[in-house]
Chains A and B, each alone.
Chain A
């Protein structure tokens, strides 16, 4: 039973390019969450999605960032026109809903050069 799978593990982008981060939740989990860990900081909530729905995106920057969790396939976090300040580790978590805790992936480390 695989856990949360994130890819790629490392991603390097030049300023102005697009970054696409993928997350496949634990099999059977229909709730997906994205968190960002900036250097020297703890993890901060970005967005909560269920299949085909964004439930809460209050932690996600209003511009350049978007997230989706389609009916089929992984959840995608997209960052357009990346800037150096977007360099961070991005973690995805999933849950079955209810009070069962959250399972985190190994993260994607984005470096913008």
Chain B
């Protein structure tokens, strides 16, 4: 099946810093989403971004489907940004469609 690798696995920032999280995937995808799992365990959808660039406030994401990677940018980080960031992809077919395959996540800690 499709493989998803996220880097870095852990990241510690001071409040106000910027960061870039990366997601590599092994095959063509129909769908790619970024999620934030907060310290309370809730899974929050950040972006649906199978290709192109999107921005939402201090967060933006870019997916280069032809090169099989996606980047999540967090600017001016805040302590509330802490948590685990997951990238999840849905393959094009062959039993991969409609199933999201999640990466292992990036654990972000933002210190005041």
Interface residues of A (CB under 8 A from B): 31, 33, 35, 41-45, 48, 55-56, 58-59, 89, 91, 93, 99-107, 109
Task: Name B100's contact: one of A58, A102, A107 (CB within 8 Å).
Answer: A102
- B56 contacts chain A at the CB level, 8 A cutoff: no
Between-chain CB contacts (< 8 Å), 24 pairs: A31-B98, A33-B99, A41-B104, A42-B86, A42-B104, A42-B105, A43-B86, A45-B99, A45-B100, A45-B101, A48-B98, A99-B30, A100-B48, A101-B33, A101-B48, A102-B100, A103-B45, A104-B35, A104-B44, A104-B45, A106-B42, A106-B43, A107-B42, A109-B41
Interface residues of B (CB under 8 A from A): 30-31, 33, 35, 41-45, 48, 50, 86, 88, 95, 98-105
Q: Roughly how many angstroms separate A31 CA and B97 CA in the complex, as a whole number?
A: 13
Contact across chains for B43 and A101 when beta carbons are under 8 A apart: no
- Nearest CB on A from B24, distance (A): 15
Q: Roughly how many angstroms separate A44 CA and B111 CA in the complex, as a whole number?
A: 30
Contact across chains for A107 and B41 when beta carbons are under 8 A apart: yes
Contact across chains for A104 and B105 when beta carbons are under 8 A apart: no
- Nearest CB on B from A35, distance (A): 8
* A contact residues around B100 at 8 Å (CB): 33, 35, 43, 45, 93, 102
